[in-house]
Amino acid sequence: MRSRLAVILVADVVGYTRLMAEDEARAIAAVMSLRDSRLEPRVIECGGEVLKRLGDGWILAFGSVTAAMKCARDVQEALAEDPQLAIRIGGHLGEIVEDDSDFYGTGVNLAQRLQSEAPPGGIMVSQDLVRQLSGDLAEGFEDAGSFELKNIPFPVQAYQWRPAPANAVQAPDMVPKIAVERIESAPETPDTQAAAQDLYDQIVLLTSRRTGIQVVDNNADAEYVIRGRLRLSGTRGRLTVSLLVGREGRTAFSRNYEGDTTDPFAFCDDIAGLAVSDLRMQTSRLDADRAKLMPLEQMSVSELRARAVGHIYEATVEGFMDARNVIERALELSPRDPISLAMRVGIFHWLSAAGYVDVTPDDWDSYAEDVAVAMEAEPRSDFVLHTMAIVKIIHDRDASAGRRFSEMALEISPNYMLGQMSLSWAYLLGGDFDNGIKILKRVTKQVEDDPFVTKLLFQLAAAQYCNGEHADALDTMERIVAIKPRNPPYHRLRALCFEALGDEAGAARALEMARTVRADQLEHCVLPPLPGQFEDLHGKICPERQNGTHVPRGTVVDLSPREAS
């Protein structure tokens, strides 16, 4: 065995499978032209070597950091104006171990994983490599965040570069930086100061655990600033938290959190967890807005995921359909990306449950396999665990397993909204309406400013109705229609509540509203999973949900959504 230190580059053709399906001969000719005229000759000119050809990819090695990065940038800049062909390059400075037949090493694996995270036409390199760059070669590399990469035992800090062709939109910095200010406290006593310090430490700790963001000290370097003020009085405490858009100084979100301070540690843990959960939703929404500024074809997998989140936050059927297509694009770039796989399952569940897409049993089996792959790669992702819970609840009708995976997600992020929602679903499916309703009440209060609040209130009202709490269910529905008055399923559930309360006139009025209103935008009305004796509720409230369009797994199409009837 021989070993050497080298710059390892891994290059791969973007969308090669799609290109082959569209025109096999043309795809092969394009790759051969790339190999013979653009890539390999430039590698040799820069003193590099081709370690292995991979059909539509290459593993390259260089003895010089400068030569490797100059070669990678030259190739990408030459390809930038080619509309037919793009490649992604991953790079790392590491050890290569060789024998007479092959080569090995963690450095090769790491470069391959980084290549799958690179944007089309761009380069993604490890921190170890970027630290060796200087001068012009260092320009344009931006912090891409920390990545959990398969078979790599530690998080990898990565940096990305992409050329800026003429007429292209300048890409925003896609890794948001968040500054957490010291929390002010009143009155100025040792106890309040200690509690404020504890809250600050908890918020920094919980925020730092998130992937795709970076916590920084300097407000001037941050896209977002978290600002807080704590006030204690007797055994009560109130923390006021604000999220500011850093460079604008605009307050994008603000909320008060109150609790009992008899146990100061429990108070700080609970309040910090609630605040960070809300801040997670708000920064995800704001990041998604920034992601819309970039052309889709230039985006990396992580950027595409942020773009999909933006479409989901539109809280409409059209938004979910757009999110589906964006995630299919991400999976074209990286077919086994765990978060994208889990997102696809969640998107199709919502569209299917709302009646706009039919998911066959075979589809669900494939989605269950997708989540299993995601779990293997990201076993500590609260989102992946939540998605596994959904598969167990919806596909397997296994309330016990759904509860177990939901609780695992909440062990990681105790106030995670999606984890709480799937836990409530597990309780409801198992017939424990009291606990399911209790959790849904807590979640709807937590997301009262979120665009999904009406969706969660709808689930709460359905659970209350099935539990015989007809007056409470009607009150919940009145809250919903005050926000969204033009949605037929909402009025159908109101009619059932009136009927159960003996108000025939109210039921008739609600049914007439359901018959005559036309939604301004397509709403997806998703009921929670219910025990068998209540399954007919779906057909009563959402009869149109039986008419979905089947979309084979992996299809990217422009569905024309139907108007809700």
Look at residue 215 and tell me if it is in a domain: yes
Into how many domains does the chain fold? Answer: 3
Same domain, 193 and 122: no
> Domain boundary residue among 161, 194, 215?
161
Residue at token pair 């850093």 = 246
* Confidence grade of residue 467 (pLDDT, cut at 50, 70, 90): very high
CATH number at residue 211: 3.40.50.10610
Higher pLDDT, 48 or 356: 48
Q: Are 369 and 413 in contact (CB under 8 A)?
A: no
Same domain, 480 and 376: yes
d(CA 560, CA 557): 9
Look at residue 56 and tell me if it is in a domain: yes
Look at residue 136 and tell me if it is in a domain: yes
Q: Of the ranges 80-94, 262-276, 347-361, which one carries the lowest mean pLDDT score?
A: 347-361
d(CA 496, CA 8): 65
Backbone angles phi, psi at 162, to 5 degrees: -145, 150
Look at residue 370 and tell me if it is in a domain: yes
> Domain boundary residue among 290, 318, 344?
290
- Residue 238: strand pairing partners: 231, 258
Look at residue 77 and tell me if it is in a domain: yes
Same domain, 190 and 153: no
In terms of DSSP H, where are the helices of 292-398? 301-312, 317-333, 338-353, 361-377, 382-390
Condensed to tens digits (0 to 9), the pLDDT of residues 39-50 reads: 999 999 999 999
Look at residue 172 and tell me if it is in a domain: no
SS3 labels along 124-158: EEEHHHHCCCCHHHHCCCEEEEEECCCCCCCCEEE
Same domain, 205 and 349: no
Look at residue 303 and tell me if it is in a domain: no
**Buried b or exposed e, range 99-126, using 16+ CB within 10 angstroms:** eeeebebebbbbbbbbbbbbbbbbbbbb
Determine which helix (DSSP H) or strand (DSSP E) holds 526, and give its type and residue range: none
CATH number at residue 54: 3.30.70.1230
Same domain, 129 and 205: no
The per-residue pLDDT for 565 is 28
Same domain, 194 and 156: no
Same domain, 260 and 363: no
Look at residue 300 and tell me if it is in a domain: no
d(CA 330, CA 311): 14
Same domain, 233 and 122: no
Residue closest to 294 by CA, chosen among 144, 140, 160, 172? 172
> Domain boundary residue among 133, 161, 189?
161
Q: How many CB atoms lie within 10 A of CB 173?
A: 12
Same domain, 146 and 189: no
The per-residue pLDDT for 468 is 96
Residues of the domain holding 34: 2-161
The per-residue pLDDT for 558 is 46
Measured at the alpha carbon of residue 493, what is the angle toward residues 489 and 496, in degrees to the nearest 5?
140
Q: State yes or no: pLDDT of 238 exceeds 70.
A: yes
Burial of 176 (0-12, 13-18, 19+ CB in 10 A): buried
Does pTM surpass 0.75?
yes
Same domain, 370 and 499: yes
Same domain, 13 and 122: yes
Same domain, 114 and 227: no
**DSSP label of 34:** I
* The pair of three-digit structure tokens given for residue 199, joined into one six-digit string: 């809250």
